[in-house]
Amino acid sequence: MLKICKKCDIIKLDKKQNWGRSRKGSLDLKIAVILLSVLSVLFLGALIFAVYKILALRKRVRIKRDEMTGLLNRRSFMHEGRLVLDKYRERSEGEIALVVFDVDKLRLINTLYGTDEGDKVVCAFAKAIRSAAGKGDIIGRVDTDDFALLTKLHGKTVEERIEKFAAALPDFISNISIREQVNYYAGVCVFDGQDDIYTLFNKANLCLLTHGDGQRISTFTSDMEQRMVENEIMRTEMLDALKNGQFELFYQPKVSFKTGKMTGVEALIRWHHPTKGFIPPCDFIPLAEQFGIITKIDEWGLLTACRQGKHWLDIGLPPIKISVNMSQAQFVRTDVYATVVRVLEETGFDPQYLEIEVTETMAMTDVEHTVGVLNKIHALGVSISMDDLGTGYSSLASLKTIPFDVLKIDRSLVCDVNENDTSRRITSAIVAMGKALKMIVLAEGVETGEQSKLLTDLGCDMAQGYYYSKPCPANEIETMLIIPINPNVKT
């Protein structure tokens, strides 16, 4: 019995020990589960935080870079440029220059050929600038059509840098269908050790606004800022002139060689400034084109000329054609056809007495677009004239596709037509071509009787120039319509 009891006690003791062990194991398992859960939460939190940091970094990179080209954006370019200039001030090693590259007529390319073509041009420019940049140079796309390069010259000239870019550009645009239309302007400012990055950039950018015709590279000079101020004053004054009636149209007669009678006039703008007096067109028309005001002046000129023509018809004067010049900007930035229709309706002027003059260069800028617009205008009954023939690079095919009624031989050929065999032969060829195409041929800039006689012998139909009359106010044209011009007397 005693043994059995001892065995029972042992059995009971074993059960208690096993239960204790089981209870401890269950507790360890719970602790392990809790720890695992905590670790999982911490790991997940760390993972989320890491992903957040990566996305934030990527976002900062996107903000720092232009998405299309991968170059620095404007803000980042200015920031990096400031650091470079600060470092240069401390060490003064070599020369630094800032170059602003302008993609010529990018907005026009986007309008005429689509943004896909424009984007290809932008990317080509970015690659060309990269290829021309030196070690440590900063490159950015600072505007839709502008790039900036802050370059350490390392003994080279800034012109060499730009020439390297210009030499590389054709390779990068070779696969672009409109590569003939792609060109650039460059504004340059060499760091003087004093300017901050913003001033340096503004000076280089200013050069883009002051470059001359055919001048691809313009370098900042101290008098540019003064000229810019003067140009801004002129811009404001031109807008005031439109509002306050300071512009006036003068009219230069066009005379028939056969009859000696005035058959038309060309409307020419004059500016009577209240304090500066008479300002010739050559002093303000280029600025009007630069500042985009030329389209407003063109519309004013068309409206004024048509009103004047209607007035002459209403008072019973013999009908004559009035020719009005249209700028390239008018064709590109506005709906010329809609403008002509609106003006004709508003004034009641008969379209058969209106003539639109476009230059040879304008006609060749975008033939397809120009042909479409001019055909619509021509269908209204308006005549079309090619001005300055012989000064540009026209395609003879354009004379077949564009509905020209009149060819105007430029004064540069007429001025020495009696003395220069080449001028005479070119003039003769233009006359023969015009006749073959059933166009009226007009010589402008006729100033002597000898020129008038030779042009008559060559077969010219009409003449315009100081030999017949200088540009006159409208009231003097009314007198000439009543008393015909004597072709042998200079008025």
Q: Please report which confidence band the pLDDT of residue 464 belongs to, taking 50, 70 and 90 as the band edges.
A: very high
By the 8 A CB rule, do 485 and 444 touch? no
For the chain, percent of residues with pLDDT exceeding 90: 45
Q: Give the tokens for residue 102.
A: 């302008």
Give the best-scoring range by mean pLDDT among 83-92, 383-392, 404-413: 404-413
First-last CA distance in the chain: 159
Tokens encoding 82: 């400031």
**C-alpha to C-alpha distance for 420 and 339, rounded to whole angstroms:** 42
Query: What's the pLDDT score for residue 330?
Result: 84
- The C-alpha atoms of residue 351 and residue 135 are separated, in whole angstroms, by 63
Confirm if 369 and 335 have CB atoms less than 8 A apart: no
Res 397: pLDDT? 59
Torsion of CA 442, 446, 452, 454, to 10 degrees: -80
Task: Label residue 483 by pLDDT band (50, 70, 90).
Answer: confident
Domains delineated in the chain: 74-221 (3.30.70.270), 230-482 (3.20.20.450)
Tokens representing 481? 């319509």
SS percent in the chain: helix, strand, coil, step 5: 55, 20, 25
Contact by Cβ (8 Å): 192, 222:
no
Residue 193's φ and ψ, nearest 5 degrees, are 90, -5
Selected residue with higher pLDDT from 397 and 224: 224
User: How much is the average pLDDT of 39-58?
Assistant: 64
Average pLDDT score over the chain: 83
